[in-house]
Amino acid sequence: MIIDGRADAELRHALQQQGFNLASGAVLIEGERIWHGADAVAKLCSQLEPSDGLLKLLQVIFGNPDRTRLLYPVLLLARRLALAAKGLPVDPG
């Protein structure tokens, strides 16, 4: 299940208390385990069973943790630009 951390202040606060800031990276929660930033993206992409061409491409590019760590700053920049275009803050507070 995907949850929008921007819309769930309670979850966002709980994650911040554990040292996971959504403004600085994605979060993936699987049971009690939490991945943050590039590690979250790499883990998610490595678990994909893509049926769509774009998902297959994402899996190839971001399924490798080392490559994902290298490219992750570009993803963060793209996210910041998309949020700015929508007039939304990077950190919803």
Note the pLDDT of residue 1: 67
φ/ψ (deg, to 5) at 91 = -115, 110
Question: In this structure, what token pair is assigned to residue 29?
Answer: 């929660």
Q: Has residue 93 got a pLDDT over 80?
A: no
Residues 75-85, mean pLDDT to the nearest whole number: 92
Under DSSP, the state recorded for 63 is S
Between CA 19 and CA 27 the distance in angstroms is 11
| DSSP reduced 3-state for 87 | coil
In 1-93, DSSP assigns E strands to 27-30, 33-36
Quote the distance between the C-alpha of residue 77 and its chain's center.
12
pLDDT digits (tens, 9 = 90+) for 12-57: 899 999 999 888 888 999 988 999 999 999 998 888 887 788 888 8
Bridge partners (DSSP) of residue 33 are: 30
Q: Which of 35-39, 47-51, 67-71, 84-88 has the lowest mean pLDDT?
A: 47-51
